[in-house]
Amino acid sequence: MRYFVHIGYNGLQYNGWQKQPGVLNVQGVLEKYLSQALKTEVFINGCGRTDAHVHASQFFFHMDIEQEWDFDLKFRLNKLLPLNIAVFDIIPMKGLPHARFDAVQRSYDYFIHTYKDPFLNGLSSFYLLDHLDFDKMKQAAAVLPKYKDYRAFCTSPDKYEHTICNVMSASLAVDTNGDKLRFQISSNRFLSKMIRIIMGQLLKIGRGVLSVDEFENYLITNTTPELITPAHPQGLYLSKVTYPYLNLPPRVEFSSILQKQTDVTWRTL
């Protein structure tokens, strides 16, 4: 029987999703505790490969289990797993759907704060920057869905069969104080470090180092910038994964914490 497992994780302590020897990774931790709980070796396939220190507020993997368990596996896994990995749902699937290849859309959020805040450390990227030109940054983000080839914003484009990405939306938002930013982007696929490279370019635009026209010209000509400076990894979240047959809302929403939304109220007990 094939199962999809809906999870979230804080990736700060991990060297990415993918299992590799000698380093702590999310896939290896999950396979260890799944095998322990089910008393048989379990291998899993994830919906993507997040980089080191990158988070996922929504992530899916699939696994094949020969014999169904007779206990609350979700409860047991959440007791076994470290606090930075949570299991939200375990979903039996018909046939052999694939967690990675069947995904039709992935959405990412990137969070930045521009003042030192010990409580945002590890949840958002800290850039001590004043007077960013948010309008120019928003203009640049808005041009992204117009283009399909993202070779210019990839660290290793030649490892892919092609560098075409169907970017469906991209936007930049800023809070009322002007000291927290949220970049959102959705596409059918992403290239290596693509979002962090784009975010790095947007910060250059905000600082006046790069123009919107120069940014767009990289996409027009497929020319890689001379100096690529990806934004820090800890501000990046895989936040939504959509399938033709499965479209669950994320269980956790970090933006309300990071942007301190004013609609949050407290009731005295």
Residues involved in catalysis: 51
Question: What CA–CA distance (Å, rounded) separates 83 from 179?
Answer: 29
113 within 8 A of 124, measured Cβ to Cβ: yes
Pairing of strands 105-113, 125-126: parallel
Per the listing, tokens 């479209």 go with: 247
Question: What CA–CA distance (Å, rounded) separates 182 from 195?
Answer: 12
163 within 8 A of 154, measured Cβ to Cβ: yes
62 within 8 A of 4, measured Cβ to Cβ: yes
Q: How far is CA 191 from the centre of its chain?
A: 12
Encoded amino acid at 19, one letter: K
Residue 213 half-sphere exposure, CB side, CA atoms within 13 Å? 0
